[in-house]
Amino acid sequence: QVQLQQSGPGLVKPSETLSLTCAISGDSVSSNSAGWNWIRQSPSRGLEWLGRTYYTSKWYIEYADSVRSRTTITPDTSKNQFSLQLNSVTPEDTAVYYCAREVLYSGPNRVDSWGQGALVTVSS
């Protein structure tokens, strides 16, 4: 049973960088059959997919166009975790952020496991 444990600050100042980490147990960030996603949720934007990383012979990282220019998702094989960095945040980035596992190559993809969620507030 995979478990995803999120960590990171809950308050970030405008123009600074939001950083979150998702520690994986029960699976591997290097798995050939899983993708590791970041999704956020806010009242104004609903559920919004931000990006993912996955490994299939090499690492792939994909981002939503809406955040591409200021987002970095990084896998860390030594700690079996992956991270999200979102630069130049504004109050619009206030949301609950989730990390999530996506099942790959077993029919159409689906997100089957989620972290506990982390409310990140952007405010001075």
Minimum Å gap between C-beta 15 and other proteins is: 25
By beta-carbon proximity to other proteins, the closer residue of 23 and 100 is 100
CA distances from 6 to 32, 44, 63, 66 (A): 22, 23, 19, 23
66 near other proteins (CB under 8 A): yes
State the nearest-atom distance from the C-beta of 78 to other proteins, in Å: 26
Report which DSSP code applies to 26: S
The one-letter code for the residue type at 84 is L
Q: Does 54 bind other proteins (CB under 8 A)?
A: no
Q: Shortest CA distance to 72 belongs to which of 89, 54, 90, 87?
A: 87
49 binds other proteins (CB under 8 A): yes
Q: According to the binding rule CB under 8 A, does residue 108 interact with other proteins?
A: yes
Nearer to other proteins, 11 or 47 (CB): 47
Answer yes or no whether residue 10 interacts with other proteins by CB under 8 A: no
Q: Six-digit token pair at 4? A: 């995803």
If one asks whether residue 121 binds other proteins (CB under 8 A), the answer comes out as no
Q: Is the separation of the CB atoms in 62 and 51 below 8 Å?
A: yes
Work out how close the CB of 41 gets to other proteins at its nearest, in angstroms, rounded to a whole number.
Answer: 8
C-alpha torsion 85→116→96→73, nearest 10: 20
Where does this chain bind other proteins (CB under 8 A)? 37, 46-49, 62, 64-66, 98, 100, 102, 107-112, 114-117
